[in-house]
Amino acid sequence: MSATDPLLLVPAPLSVRPLEGSPFVLGPDLRVVVGDTPEEIGAGVLAAEVIGALVDTPLGLQTGDDPAPGAVHLRLADDAGPLDADPTERYSLTVTADGVEVLAPRAAGLLHGVATLRQLLRPGPDGEVTVPAVVVHDAPRYEWRGLSLDVVRHFFTVDQVTAVLGLMSELKLNVLHLHLSDDQGWRLDVPSRPELAARSSGTEVGGGPGGCYSADDFAQIVAHAAARHITVVPEIDVPGHVNAALHALPELTPDGVAPPPYTGTEVGFSRLHRDVPATRAFLQDVLGDVAAMTPGPYLHIGGDEVLTMAPEEYRWFVRTAQDVARAAGKTVVGWQEIALADVEPGTVVQFWDPRADPEPFAAAAAAGARLLMSPGSRVYLDMKYDADSPLGLDWAGFVEVRDSYDWDPDAAIPGVPADAVVGVEAAVWTETVPTLEDLFVMLLPRLAAVAEVAWSAQDRRGWAGFRTRVAGLAAGWDRAGYPWYPSPQVDW
């Protein structure tokens, strides 16, 4: 690649201005220089790690105001980034022959600047790494840019989830939604009901060993995420998708008999019962435990695909779960079906099935709910790319890279106004996805497309440009050891 190549950045920044002049050359005494606040030091540690891994040398970290030439400077500055954007995540990045400067009002912006820098690094012929001279001003379109990961149908360890977090931060995604309970297993050990993990974590689709997170494991995931300014949203799916809970706690069934474990892929057959006495305390204790284990503001209560419950009883579950979450200081997130119940202002409704009647979503938005856009035909990254994909489902159709890219979240549901759209979340269900390698093949390149939909202004992006830029990421994926799908829609 030469210095005149276009700058291959995904997601596309708000503004990119290439500068005349020589590129920055990463020298042998390259170091990261930060201010002395904890936020700057935290961002500096991660920057040193990320850039150091790319140049194969551990980088030094130095605090202070030293305008050291040849260094990567990270500094908090209120007036950095596009000033009309929210300060939470905006940043500026300036690269000249003399060095690199990342400025942002908050630490999250510093990390976004480092993610942009990472994509600009160009390995030269004799091991020299350069960065073209450029000024970037950038800020996201949506505040919620997520990935939902199903760790139930197949279990993924803390290290594997950490690898996914690494990819997410490269793409400036900021919410990891963990689907922690379902028919096939229970994946989080909660103090009030140790039977759940003890009796129902050793199963998964296809008969594999399953697994679960201890409180300490979960805290580690949350900490790895927090270091990257990613919020973890835990999901306990009720009142359907509960076979694993019923198996562990037979008092939740009407006849007190535990159903056998389930390792198939059908949905919609299991449910809680309002009239079973143990039900209310289960909701209260388990949702309360998960809320207490989660520093983030959200608690996902599932709510999807309850195919055998009267609407009135369903509404009771949603109301009760909302009450528990509110008492624990959390905002409720639920799959789109909760729009048919009484959602409170601020509750996040996650749209997933485009076959549904749009009217209840418009009504929920009018009542103050916020809509999170996860249309299956666009961002369900467990769908097959095409008929030849060895992995994946196809109930929402085939989802090629361009399908994930070419849509506008603000226009995704007729009747829902743009200001009710909180953001975009990709979802990867894992019925057909047993390994981390398989998971990455489902995510890449589609997650890059979703990340751009969620980050980049609608008028700053387009398929022709994205096609070129996403091809520029592949070398980095190879260096990082990420398996990916060479979609025929892109000239790799």
Please, which residue, 33 or 343, has the CB nearer to ligand TNX? 343
**Residues 165/224, Cβ–Cβ less than 8 Å:** yes
Out of 77, 97, 158, 393, which residue is the one contacting ligand TNX (CB under 6 A)? 393
Nearer to ligand TNX, 77 or 267 (CB): 267
Taking the complex as a whole, the smallest distance from the CB of residue 150 to ligand TNX amounts, in Å, to 6
Cβ proximity to ligand TNX, 354 vs 472, nearer residue? 354
Q: In terms of CB distance, is 46 or 349 closer to ligand TNX?
A: 349
Count CB atoms within 10 A of the CB of residue 215: 15
Q: How far is the CB of 397 from ligand TNX (least distance, A)?
A: 11
Pick out residues in 249-288 that bind ligand TNX (CB under 6 A). 267
Per-position x/- string for 342-361, each x denoting binding to ligand TNX as judged by CB under 6 A, each - no binding: ----------x---------
In the list 89, 101, 289, 382, the residue contacting ligand TNX (rule: CB under 6 A) is 382
Nearest approach in angstroms of CB 352 to ligand TNX is 4
Least spacing, CB of residue 26 vs ligand TNX, in Å: 43
Shortest gap between Cβ of 138 and ligand TNX (angstroms)? Answer: 32
Applying CB under 6 A, among 204, 304, 425, 452 the residue interacting with ligand TNX is: 304
Known catalytic residue: 128?
no
Which one of the listed residues 49, 143, 195, 305 is annotated catalytic?
305
Taking the least distance from each CB to ligand TNX, the nearer of 425 and 431 is 431
Residues 427-446 that bind ligand TNX (CB under 6 A): 429, 431
Q: Does 305 bind ligand TNX (CB under 6 A)?
A: yes
- In angstroms, give the least distance from the CB of 325 to ligand TNX: 18
Q: Which residues bind ligand TNX (CB under 6 A)?
A: 267, 304-305, 335, 352, 380, 382, 393, 429, 431
Instruction: Kindly list the catalytic residues.
Output: 305
